[in-house]
């Protein structure tokens, strides 16, 4: 029995999807980074990589954005994330399909990853009205002590190819409502989904009206206050040891092991790093603790 197989021009479909998502065709040619789809192995784009000078300029813009964004009330910052969630809902089919093309996921998994982005936006919107601080008893009559949490600074996110957009959203949605701009370094294997997400963020920022330029950047960065990544324990230790970021906090997540490497918050004067690893897949869970700078395994 003969079975007709429909030929798919993945490169053409990718260009059309990116156009619908707001990424210009000119951004997909003339560069030095070749992007291929694991579905067919064919080349679907050639992107220009940024120079150190360009990265520094964009990161400076993120720091300037932080000075303005930190002063915006939490519920107002949550409004931007609410609009982002609306834009993701409107473009769920296109972005989900792009994830499938660039990563090789089945359609339901591609759509499911975008749904995770939408869900974390909903969560973060609620969080924007719950940035609470403690009221603490004091021995002084007629006085009370109040705890206030302040925005931390620019947040850097490093994502791997297997979850090209969800990992960014888990960090970005929370960072934005907490008053922190985001600098994103996507995997070199999945840069197109990052460009698409950035275009969606820009749409939300336009609707928001007065979001500062530099609030969201797709680059490799430095001098950030929190570095969030997705990789192995070795990646976690390398980020902590070699980031050169002057970071207050470093958090690295890993698929299956999900470790979080938290560097010292300098204002508290703790020494060393603390690693909290947890198995959270396949109904496995473990919580080992150790100092990252401890040579013992």
Lowest mean pLDDT among 28-32, 33-37, 52-56, 281-285: 281-285
| Residue 238 within any structural domain of the chain | no
pLDDT of residue 63: 93
**Tens of pLDDT along 156-194?**
888 888 999 999 999 999 999 999 999 898 888 899 999
Average pLDDT in the chain: 77
Q: Which of 168, 181, 173 is nearest to 212 (CA)?
A: 181
In this prediction the pTM is 0.76
Mean pLDDT (whole number) for 187-205: 94
* Average pLDDT for 236-244: 48
- Orientation angle between helical segments 191-208 and 92-103, nearest 10 degrees: 160
Output the CA torsion 269→224→164→277 (10° steps).
-10
CATH number of residue 127's parent domain: 3.40.605.10
**Higher-pLDDT residue of 287, 147:** 147
Q: Is 217 contained in some domain?
A: yes
d(CA 115, CA 105) in angstroms, rounded, equals 14
Please indicate, yes or no, if residue 295 is contained in any of the structural domains: no
91 or 131: whose pLDDT is higher? Answer: 91
Q: What pLDDT band is residue 142 in, cutting at 50, 70 and 90? A: confident
CA–CA dist 193, 260 (Å, integer): 25
Q: Which is more confident, 51 or 166?
A: 166
**63: in domain:** yes
Residue 98, in any domain of the structure: yes
Mean pLDDT score, 187-216? 95
* Number of structural domains in the chain: 1
Residue 127 has pLDDT above 80, yes or no: yes
In this structure, the strands spanning 182-185 and 33-36 are unpaired
Longest distance between any two alpha carbons in the chain, whole Å: 90
253, 259 Cβ separation under 8 angstroms: yes
Q: What's the CA gap between 117 and 165, in Å, rounded?
A: 8
Rg of the chain over all Cα atoms, to the nearest angstrom:
21
Confidence at residue 148, expressed as pLDDT on a 0 to 100 scale: 85
SS3 of the chain: helix, strand, coil, percent, to 5: 40, 15, 40
Contact 34, 46 (CB under 8 A): yes
Q: Are strands 135-136 and 145-146 parallel, antiparallel or unpaired?
A: antiparallel
Does the structure show a pLDDT above 80 at 215? Answer: yes
Q: What does the alpha-carbon distance between residue 149 and residue 179 come to, in Å, rounded to a whole number?
A: 10
Q: Are 32 and 48 in contact (CB under 8 A)?
A: yes
In a domain, 78, yes or no: yes
Cβ atoms 40, 13 nearer than 8 A: no
Name all contacts of 35-41 with Cβ < 8 Å and 24+ positions apart: 35/102, 35/189, 35/191, 35/192, 37/10, 37/11, 37/101, 37/102, 37/104, 38/103, 38/104, 39/8, 39/10, 39/100, 39/101, 39/104, 40/8, 40/10
121 falls in which pLDDT band (50, 70, 90)?
very high
Task: Name, of 52-61, 69-78, 142-151, the range with top average pLDDT.
Answer: 69-78
Q: How confident is the model at residue 220 (pLDDT cuts 50, 70, 90)?
A: very low
Tens of pLDDT, residue by residue over 4-49, are 444 568 989 999 999 999 998 888 888 888 889 999 999 998 888 8
What would the mean pLDDT of 85-96 be, rounded to a whole number?
A: 98
- Are 226 and 251 within 8 A, CB to CB? yes
Percent of the chain with pLDDT over 90: 48
pLDDT band of residue 205 (cuts 50, 70, 90) is: very high
Residue 267: pLDDT above 70?
no
CA distance 1 to 74: 63
Higher-confidence position of 253 and 217: 217
Look up the domain containing 60 and give its range: 52-230
pLDDT at 8: 65
Separate counts of helices (H) and strands (E) for the chain: 8, 12
Residue 143 lies in a domain: yes
Within a domain: residue 200?
A: yes
Residue 250 or residue 284, greater confidence: 250
């Amino acid at each position: 029995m003969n079975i007709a197989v429909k030929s798919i021009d993945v490169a053409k479909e990718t260009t059309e999807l990116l156009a619908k998502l707001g990424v210009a065709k000119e951004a997909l040619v003339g560069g030095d980074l070749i992007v291929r789809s694991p579905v067919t192995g064919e080349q679907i784009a050639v992107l220009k990589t940024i120079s150190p000078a360009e990265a520094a300029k964009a990161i400076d813009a993120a720091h300037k954005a932080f000075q303005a964004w930190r002063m915006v009330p939490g519920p107002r910052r949550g409004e931007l994330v609410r609009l982002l969630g609306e834009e993701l809902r409107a473009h769920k089919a296109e972005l989900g399909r792009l994830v499938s093309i660039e990563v090789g996921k089945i359609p339901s998994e591609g759509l499911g990853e975008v749904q995770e982005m939408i869900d974390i936006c909903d969560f973060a919107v609620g969080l924007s009205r719950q940035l609470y601080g403690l009221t603490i008893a004091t021995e002084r009559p007629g006085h009370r002590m109040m705890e206030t949490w302040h925005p931390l600074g620019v947040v850097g996110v490093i994502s791997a190819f297997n979850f090209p957009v969800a990992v960014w959203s888990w960090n970005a949605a929370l960072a934005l409502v907490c008053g922190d701009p985001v600098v994103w370094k996507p995997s070199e294997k999945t840069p197109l989904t990052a460009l698409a997400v950035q275009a969606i963020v820009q749409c939300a920022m336009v609707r928001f009206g007065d979001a500062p330029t530099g609030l969201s950047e797709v680059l490799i960065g430095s001098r950030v206050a929190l570095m969030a990544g997705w990789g192995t324990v070795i990646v976690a230790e390398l980020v902590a040891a070699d980031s050169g970021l002057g970071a207050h906090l470093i958090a690295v997540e890993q698929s299956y092991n999900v470790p979080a490497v938290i560097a010292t918050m300098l204002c508290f004067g703790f020494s060393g790093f603390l690693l909290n690893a947890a198995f959270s897949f396949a109904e496995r869970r473990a919580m080992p603790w150790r100092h990252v700078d401890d040579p013992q395994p």
